[in-house]
Structure 1
């Protein structure tokens, strides 16, 4: 048998290779086309899932610089009080770490998200979530799960099957997905730096939270829907001095639950900037039904069915309402017991920044 020489092999291979390359421009040429919201809403991808393992974030614990000053500073400036004094907000300590941190002094890692239930960034079909013919950008925390598979959102030693939260408490086998988080903040008004505020949340969970954004064609504004679920077995607020040597009374809220709903598919929250550069956030009022659309007795029979269904969905849907539950509320040595506010529905809200220097 005679084997082909290298030169013979190249003579056969190169023409075939060049012929294949010559076809690429013809087969790869394409034109990008602009898609409208309706076409984008039909695109359904897997999105991006995020899981942060062994995560530690702590600002304010860096070693001092060569001059003995804090090396990194988180500061908000450029604000004035009503009497013209400069307002300086300095965050001395900000942390997100593993549970059991003792108010941010013991920094241990925590996992944020699980491979089975990660944080998500996605473009979802608005038709699937009640936002007709819109492509919706969604930023979402780990989703709530079936009670048979989830964990109690507040229990530090919760076992599987005890609740609807996906994030697990820390055990000897894993470090869990529940974080201690907190902030120590100083607010200076002019030369007065006496105002200090400290917030600490233990073993916090925000499963089921999300932010959805889309464009409103009629108002030509960005519209959105924001849901914040915040669970913590202990939320503490105090006003200690900067070095922590002198503290006022602690406000302690045990078994704290916040379920905040801002905007919904029927009444979105709008984001805008006015002509003077001030930020505007608004939840507009739902239009009142026209005369005769709702029967005098308020029943569906005798009412316009579509109008009655619209308002019934708006007023009865629990996803549109906000709740606050506090298992035990205390200030210093005084205990006020439990407290709850349920079923809050924001029918109109307008928040606008104002430049006091103008």
Structure 2
């Protein structure tokens, strides 16, 4: 307790197990309503199974407990000073929801390997070992969509998942009068599988497996915050209530601020340094690595996307009903 500062809340869940779904025989119902097709037909979304379990759950068939967070590195809800180093939202108070942070590389655990030992990587969450549950849950969702009496089934399972280093930061942009934010979404798993099966989950099509998946998505940054808003009744091109998610384009330099050869010499040094930081800062970029993609019994090989910089984003939800 010597490190308690009163600036936030740490959350650790030990021996945690969550499993819920739809079971008519036991009177359990888990449905999502209010969804329609483009022609107005109601879509009935039924969650047949949603689980957060310990390791080796066999796609949700063998559930057991897991720990979420560590006492020395918990999940956190904090109020940050926007002027603090690493936050960089001057003059603002910032609310942060954060997963366990990553540690110095070589002092933690490899983020992907379910048998990693201490000193093998930068993740704080430990894999299961012996009788110890570890902090890497199996996560799964079995979803049924029914339209006009016809049903489709989708199953998604992640094994030994790690989200260390992820966070959501939110603050009020006083200039735009909008909720602004920054999201760092890290997700590591030795296997992410996607399949379409019948209701029992025993008769499935080809399962798509992504092995050694490492996803590090950066949405919003110091120069381009993620803006969240809901369209009002006065929005001419959208119905009221639709959600808008936007990352505005980076501002362009004024004429003469950057030398004709693009070098720092001859440029406005403050402007040049601004763009140099924007384009070279690895914290602003997203990376996705897939060790191997397998469809059924066919290996498709690995894939990687590195250094993706989101320079503009504009997403608006739509009402599909006439």
TM surpasses 0.5: yes
The 3 A distance-change label for structure 1 pair 207 and 185 is: same
Q: Helix, strand or coil for the counterpart of 2:83?
A: helix
Normalising to structure 1: TM-score of the pair? 0.84
Deviations 1:332-353 (A, max 9, x none): 1111111101111111111111
Structure-2 residue corresponding to 1:35:
none
Correspondence for 1:20: none
Q: Is the 8 A contact 1:45 1:122 kept in 2?
A: no
Q: Which residue of 2 aligns with 1:21?
A: none
Using the size of structure 2 for normalisation, the TM-score is 0.93
Residue in 2 that maps onto 1:293: 257
CA distance in 2, matches of 1:253, 1:73: 31
Distance 1:346 1:188 in 2: 35
From 307, 315, 320, the equivalent of 2:271 is 307
Contact 2:37 2:321 survives alignment (8 Å): no
Question: 1:169 corresponds to which residue?
Answer: 127
136-145 vs 304-313, greater mean Cα deviation: 304-313
Mark the runs of 5 or more structure 1 residues left unpaired by the alignment: 1-43
- After superposition, where does 1:77-226 map in structure 2 within 5 Å? 77-128=33-84, 129-193=87-151, 195-226=152-183
Partner of 1:243: 200
Distance in 1, matches of 2:267 and 2:146, equals: 58
The Cα of 1:131 is off from its aligned counterpart by: 1.2
Give per-residue Cα distances to partners, 1:173-198, cap 9 Å, x unaligned: 521000000100111223221x2110
Residue correspondences, number: 309
Question: Which structure carries more relative contact order (alpha carbon 8 Å, separation 6+)?
Answer: 2
1:272 to 199, 212, 229: 229
Quote the residue 1:351 is aligned against. 315
**C-alpha contact (below 8 Å) 1:283/1:347 kept by paired residues:** yes
CA contact (8 A) 2:32 2:45 kept: yes
The structure that is helix-richer by fraction is 1
Q: What residue in structure 2 maps to residue 262 of structure 1? A: 219
Answer yes or no: is the 8 Å Cα contact 1:45–1:123 preserved in 2: no
Q: Quote how far apart the aligned CAs of 1:149 are.
A: 2.2
Q: 3-state SS of the aligned residue for 2:261?
A: coil
Gaps of 5+ in 2: 233-239
